Structure formats: structure tokens, C-alpha cells
């Protein structure tokens, strides 16, 4: 049967509906990768988003659950040019079967080129994906994506105690931490600062996650207090939240960085690295020095801020993420953080 995608600007696109009838409204973004599809659709940073896949054979992707970034699909809908009447050759889990099992709508035979042009021109925007061909406007509300996660003792024993403030962490983060030999506790972004202190952390990680970091602003004073007291690492959304907590500003990007090979340059060494990114906001570089930060990484293509170091407190943040695969940035991120954790125990963090 036919289904439709209605953009916030009023335009409607039609395609072939796959799955159970339903409506879903979410931010419309695009994914240009020909690989790493399973990591992308299970990344909590994509919770609720409607994704345009530019690769025409995306439904032929092999899905390996061991590489999923969470236990389920996070995106709210998939748009693809691929025609399901053509043979779909997969060795592992069938993409359409998995989406159907989790009741995630898919629109096939879509004009993805025209859609990408709209997004690149007008920016990422809300859109509704609907099985009702008669729907002609956005009439629903975007679902709440700011979950209140509980406290979990992920790794109960280890040399040092790392507390992860959870805004929607990826499995690859826990995978990296599990190899470090440290105790790991995950706690909610809806923070209870007395609880965090009672855990007696040796270091704190602000995880990545979905959405606008300003949604967490009522907790900014407590986030700042924690970062001033303990060695702190921010990743993805956590990078933006920490910058905001210290007084910096963010900007909405017309089209976000959603790539597993996004080029970043380290400002001190001038070395270029390929990074894993998935975000639609960026930290504004203006007045960062006023808030105690210096820029440690920038994006090669558009010059946006990719990393920060605080000059007074043990706070280091990155817009990019560690990965499950071997990556030089993994070592850079964690070697620096764990070195700081080991050296700061028992000493004042204040400069």
C-alpha cells in the first residue's frame, strides 16, 4: 500500500509502505553511509528520527546484533529509494523483518534525491511518516526522548570507579570501558548530586545521546559542580552539555554531522583523524576562552568545534565518539582520561 512523508514545509512525498499501519513524527535527517548501517539505526542519538538512506541498496545490509549500539532500533522511520520488488540478498538478519518486528515504519521506492535536496537547502526539520495517504499536514507531537534512566552497576569491580552520566549511551562506550579494568556505574542524566558523591567516583563521563542539550539545562549547575570536582570526560551530547554548563553557547546545524569517517584536526599537533559523529548541534566557538575552554579539535570541512579542554579544571570533551572497532581516537580519548583519573586521586582538582 502507499504511504506518505509530509515535511514541516508542507511538501508531501509518497512511496510504498512496509510494516504495520501507523504514524510517526520525528526530525528528518539523512545517512550517506554504504556500511555501518546497523550501528547507525541502533545509536541512541537517533532516537525517534526519520532517516533518509541515500545508498539505494541499504535493505541488503547484513545485520549483526553483536555490533548494535543498543538493544533495539532507535530510529522512528526509514526512507529508501530501494524497490522491495527487486530481490533482497542478505546473509544475516533481514532489515525489513527486523523493522517489522519492532513496528518501525519503512517507506520504499521514494525520491530520496529530492528529499536530500530539501534537507540540504532548508535544514533538518520535523516530518511525519504515515500509512494514511490522506494525511496532509503535521498534526502530531514529537515524542519525548529525554528518558530518566536508573542507576546500573555495569562493571561491579575494578581499579578505579568511573561513573557514566547517561543521556543515551552507546554499547561501544561500555565496551571500551570494560577493557580498561575499571569499575563502572551508570546513572541517570536526571541527576541527584548527593547520589553521585555517595558513589565516590574517581572520574565521570557525560555520555552521548539524542536531542537538544538545552533540554537538560535545569541540571547545568549540578553538572558544573561535578565537573569542577572530578576528572570529567564529555562525549557527543555530553560535550555540548558540559560546554553549556560552563556558560558557552550552541547552534543548530543546517545539516548535522552523521558520519563514521568525519575528518577532524587536532589543533596542537595538526594531525587529522577520522571520527565517528552523529549530531545536529555544535558548540559556538565565540567567547570560549571567557568560560575557561580552549579548542582541541576542529572539523576539517566546516571548522566547527570538535573538542574542548578546560584550562582550570580536569574537563575534556569531544564531539565524536569511541568505537567498537580499533581507532586511534579511542586511545587518544581514553589514555588521556584514565591518565588524569590515575594522577588526580587524592589530590585537589582545583587549579
Residue range 18-39, pLDDT digits in tens: 988 888 999 999 998 888 899 9
| Structural domains counted in the chain | 2
- In the predicted model, residues of the chain with pLDDT beneath 70 are 86-90, 92, 133-150, 324-326, 345-351
Confirm whether 239 is domain-assigned.
yes
**Contact criterion met (CB below 8 Å) for 45 and 208:** yes
The boundaries of the domain holding residue 304 are 152-344
Say if CB 29 and CB 8 are below 8 A apart.
Answer: no
- Tens digits of per-residue pLDDT, 287-324? 999 999 999 999 999 999 999 999 999 999 999 988 76
- Please report whether residue 146 resides in a domain: no
**23 with 66, same domain?**
yes
CA–CA distance, 249 with 264 (Å, rounded to integer)? 21
Q: What is the pTM of this model?
A: 0.88
Domain assignment of residue 140, yes or no: no
| Average pLDDT score over the chain | 88
164 and 268 share one domain: yes
DSSP 3-state of 207: coil
Q: How many CB atoms lie within 10 A of CB 220?
A: 17
**With contact defined as beta carbons under 8 Å apart, do 193 and 221 qualify?**
no
Q: Are residues 89 and 179 located together in one domain of the fold?
A: no
For residues 217 and 332, state if they share a domain.
yes
Clarify whether residues 226 and 83 are in a common domain: no
* pLDDT at 351 (0 to 100): 36
Residue 324: CATH number of its domain: 3.40.50.880
Domain membership flag for residue 141: no
Amino acid at each position: 500500500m502507499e504511504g506518505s512523508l509530509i515535511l514541516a514545509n508542507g511538501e508531501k512525498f509518497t512511496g510504498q509502505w512496509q510494516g504495520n499501519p501507523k504514524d510517526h513524527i520525528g526530525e528528518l535527517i539523512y545517512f550517506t553511509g554504504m556500511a555501518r548501517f546497523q550501528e547507525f539505526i541502533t545509536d541512541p542519538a537517533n532516537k525517534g528520527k526519520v532517516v533518509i538512506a541515500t545508498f539505494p541498496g541499504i535493505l541488503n545490509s547484513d545485520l549483526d546484533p553483536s555490533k548494535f549500539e543498543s538493544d533495539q532500533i532507535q530510529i522512528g522511520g526509514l526512507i529508501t529509494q530501494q524497490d522491495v520488488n527487486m530481490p533482497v540478498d542478505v546473509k544475516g538478519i533481514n532489515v525489513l523483518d527486523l523493522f517489522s518486528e519492532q513496528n518501525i515504519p519503512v517507506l520504499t521506492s521514494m525520491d530520496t534525491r529530492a528529499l536530500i535536496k530539501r534537507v540540504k537547502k532548508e535544514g533538518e526539520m520535523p516530518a511525519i511518516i504515515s500509512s494514511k495517504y490522506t494525511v496532509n499536514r503535521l498534526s502530531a507531537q514529537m515524542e519525548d526522548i529525554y528518558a530518566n534512566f536508573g542507576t546500573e552497576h555495569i562493571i561491579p569491580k575494578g581499579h578505579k570507579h568511573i561513573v557514566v552520566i547517561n543521556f543515551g549511551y552507546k554499547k561501544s562506550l561500555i565496551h571500551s570501558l570494560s577493557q580498561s579494568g575499571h569499575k563502572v556505574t551508570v546513572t541517570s542524566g536526571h541527576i541527584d548530586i548527593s547520589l553521585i558523591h555517595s558513589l565516590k567516583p574517581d572520574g565521570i563521563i557525560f555520555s552521548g545521546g539524542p536531542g537538544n542539550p538545552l533540554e537538560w539545562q535545569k541540571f547545568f549547575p549540578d553538572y558544573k559542580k561535578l565537573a569542577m570536582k572530578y576528572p570529567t570526560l564529555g562525549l557527543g551530547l555530553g560535550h555540548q552539555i558540559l560546554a553549556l554548563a560552563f556558560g558557552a553557547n550552541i547552534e543548530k546545524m543546517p545539516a548535522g554531522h552523521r558520519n563514521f569517517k568525519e575528518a577532524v584536526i587536532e589543533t596542537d599537533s595538526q594531525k587529522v583523524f577520522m571520527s565517528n559523529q552523529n549530531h545536529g548541534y555544535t558548540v559556538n566557538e565565540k567567547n570560549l576562552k571567557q568560560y575557561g575552554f580552549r579548542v582541541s579539535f576542529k572539523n576539517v570541512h566546516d571548522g566547527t568545534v570538535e573538542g574542548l579542554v578546560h584550562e582550570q579544571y580536569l574537563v575534556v570533551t569531544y564531539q565524536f565518539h569511541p568505537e567498537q572497532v580499533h581507532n586511534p581516537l579511542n586511545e587518544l580519548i581514553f589514555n588521556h582520561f584514565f591518565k588524569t583519573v590515575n594522577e588526580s586521586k587524592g589530590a585537589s582538582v582545583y587549579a
